[in-house]
């Protein structure tokens, strides 16, 4: 039996929940969970905000642990190895996206917490292709958030070939945003943090930003006209996207990572006149996760974390919802 924490209804409290996972499938591994970050997507899924949650629902997709069992045919991982698991637990492996190495764009990829039980548990299972080794040089208790939040903000730097001379802004300095500041600084970019929390402005500079602006202050946004090559939005709320568009240089890109539910309202002329772009992306492929882990280890980029025990999971979720967490909440056994 796997001992987990599950909610039985949208917004419900998490309660102890046991399930029988059955025999381990070929190609799968079982991970003994040591730590698991709480991503805002866990909360959105818990509340069924995206209309795809199955109950009982076990959240958790920023897992760090050790391999406790390997299924038939698993060649890439061994029992006892330290690993991480993120948003995807499986890929079809044969579609054009998978065949091109863009597994995270696979239309048949399986989410770790979509139609299966996630990492708020003593064990979790996934296809071995989606599980990435974690080097000893990274602190296991802090590394979980790299596997969803971290890869999500790192992936655009790889996808869009961002150069060290680029000027990049990050909107929202939460779980995703604070890791973005560290990655962008190490990448060599000039980094600007847009935050709605005055108390984070000084901290953002310590996390890697060179400058900070208020994400809800029209005048500060207006004064940044024509400044950025790339903006990464990590907020899940509607902001004045038209105003942000004008802070981009010609050919600049406004890139959405945060799952804002309201449609984006934009004037077409601000795109046409300066040949600007609007885009979005989900997490990253296993190979990009591997590269990110290597980059994080080399540059000593670690998530800034607050720690709770698994049996304090409901308090931990409240802490994330309060908006005061600095900057990612992690559960540990």
Ligand X SMILES: NC(=O)c1ccc[n+]([C@@H]2O[C@H](COP(=O)([O-])OP(=O)(O)OC[C@H]3O[C@@H](n4cnc5c(N)ncnc54)[C@H](OP(=O)(O)O)[C@@H]3O)[C@@H](O)[C@H]2O)c1
Task: Determine the number of helices (DSSP H) and then strands (DSSP E) in the chain.
Answer: 11, 17
92 contacts Zn ion (rule: CB under 5 A) = yes
Tell whether residue 296 is a contact of ligand X (CB under 6 A). Answer: no
| Per-residue mark of binding to ligand X, 300-329 (x: CB under 6 A) | -----------------------x------
Pick what 235 binds: Zn ion, ligand X, none; C-beta below 5 to 8 Å, kind-dependent. Answer: ligand X
Query: Is the CB of 67 or the CB of 320 nearer to ligand X?
Result: 320
The closest of 143, 127, 6, 151 to 67, measured between CA atoms, is: 127
61 binds ligand X (CB under 6 A): no
Judged on CB neighbours under 10 Å (0-12, 13-18, 19+), 332 is middle
Which residues 253-292 are close enough to bind ligand X by CB under 6 A? 257-259, 282-283
User: Minimum Å distance from CB 197 to ligand X?
Assistant: 4
331 binds Zn ion (CB under 5 A): no
Q: Please, are residues 124 and 112 in contact by the beta-carbon 8 Å criterion?
A: yes
Report the run of H or E that residue 321 belongs to, with start and end. Answer: helix 313-321
Distance CA 325, CA 26 (A): 39
**Smallest distance from ligand X to CB 4, Å:** 21
DSSP string, 34-69: EEEEE-HHHHHHHTTTTS---SSB----SEEEEEEE
DSSP 244-266: HHTTEEEEEEEEE-S---SPPP-
For residue 233, state whether it binds ligand X (rule: CB under 6 A): no
* Residue 44 touching ligand X (CB under 6 A): yes
The vertex-190 CA angle with 140 and 277, nearest 5°, equals 95
Q: How many residues sit close enough to ligand X to count as binding (CB under 6 A)?
A: 29
Q: Does 231 bind Zn ion (CB under 5 A)?
A: no
Residues 6+ apart with CB under 8 A from 51: none
In angstroms, give the least distance from the CB of 289 to ligand X: 12
Contact between 266 and Zn ion per CB under 5 A: no
Nearest distance, CB of residue 176 and Zn ion, angstroms: 8
- The arrangement of strands across the sheet holding 248-256 comes to 211-214, 190-195, 167-171, 228-233, 248-256, 277-280
Q: Which of 38, 148, 171, 209 touches Zn ion (CB under 5 A)?
A: 148
Strands 123-127 and 28-38: antiparallel
Closest residue by beta carbon to ligand X: 174
Is residue 63 within the footprint of Zn ion (CB under 5 A)? no
Query: Contact between 227 and ligand X (CB under 6 A)?
Result: no
Residues 149-178 that bind ligand X (CB under 6 A): 149, 152, 172-177
Residue 290 Cβ vs ligand X, minimum distance, rounded to whole Å: 17
**Of these, 212, 234, 247, 288, which contacts ligand X (CB under 6 A)?**
234
Of the residues 132, 148, 181, 292, which one makes contact with ligand X according to CB under 6 A: 148
Which part of the chain contacts Zn ion (CB under 5 A), choosing from 17-25, 38-46, 135-143, 165-173? 38-46
| Cα–Cα distance for residue pair 15/9, rounded to 1 Å | 11
Among 164, 193, 208, 187, CA closest to 292: 187
Out of 7, 33, 39, 204, the only residue in the binding site for Zn ion (CB under 5 A) is 39
Q: Which of 114, 189 has the CB closer to Zn ion?
A: 114
Q: Which residues pair with 132 in a beta bridge?
A: 84
98 belongs to the binding site for Zn ion (CB under 5 A): yes
Q: Least Å distance between CB 239 and ligand X?
A: 6
Residues binding Zn ion (CB under 5 A): 39, 41, 92, 95, 98, 106, 148
């Amino acid at each position: 039996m796997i001992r987990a924490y599950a909610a039985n209804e949208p917004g419900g409290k998490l309660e102890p929940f046991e399930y029988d996972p059955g025999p381990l499938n070929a190609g799968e591994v079982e991970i003994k969970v040591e730590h698991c970050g709480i991503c805002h997507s866990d909360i959105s899924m818990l509340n069924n905000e995206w209309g795809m949650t199955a109950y009982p629902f076990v959240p958790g997709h920023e897992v760090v642990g050790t391999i406790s069992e390997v299924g038939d045919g698993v060649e890439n991982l061994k029992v006892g190895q330290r690993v991480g698991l993120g948003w995807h637990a499986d890929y079809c492996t044969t579609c054009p996206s998978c065949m091109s190495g863009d597994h995270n764009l696979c239309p048949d990829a399986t989410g770790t917490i979509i139609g299966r039980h996630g990492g708020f548990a003593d064990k979790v299972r996934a296809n071995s292709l989606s599980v990435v080794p974690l080097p000893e040089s990274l602190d296991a208790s802090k590394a979980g958030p790299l596997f969803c939040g971290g890869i999500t903000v790192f992936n655009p730097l790889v996808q869009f070939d961002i150069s060290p001379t680029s000027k990049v802004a990050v909107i929202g300095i939460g779980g995703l945003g604070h890791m973005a500041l560290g990655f962008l600084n190490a990448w060599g970019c000039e980094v600007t943090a847009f935050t709605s929390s005055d108390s984070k402005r000084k901290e953002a500079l310590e996390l890697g930003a060179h400058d900070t602006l208020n994400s809800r202050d029209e005048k500060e946004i207006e004064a940044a006209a024509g400044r950025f090559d790339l903006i990464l939005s990590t907020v899940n709320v509607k902001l004045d996207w038209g105003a942000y568009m004008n802070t981009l240089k010609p050919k600049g890109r406004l890139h959405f990572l945060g799952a804002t539910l309201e449609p984006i309202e934009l004037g077409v002329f601000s795109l046409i006149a300066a040949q600007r772009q609007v885009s979005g992306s989900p997490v990253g492929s296993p190979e990009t996760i591997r590269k990110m882990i290597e980059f994080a280890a080399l540059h000593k980029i670690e998530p800034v974390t607050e720690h709770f025990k698994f049996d304090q999971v409901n308090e931990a979720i409240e802490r994330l919802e309060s908006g005061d967490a600095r900057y990612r909440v992690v559960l540990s056994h």
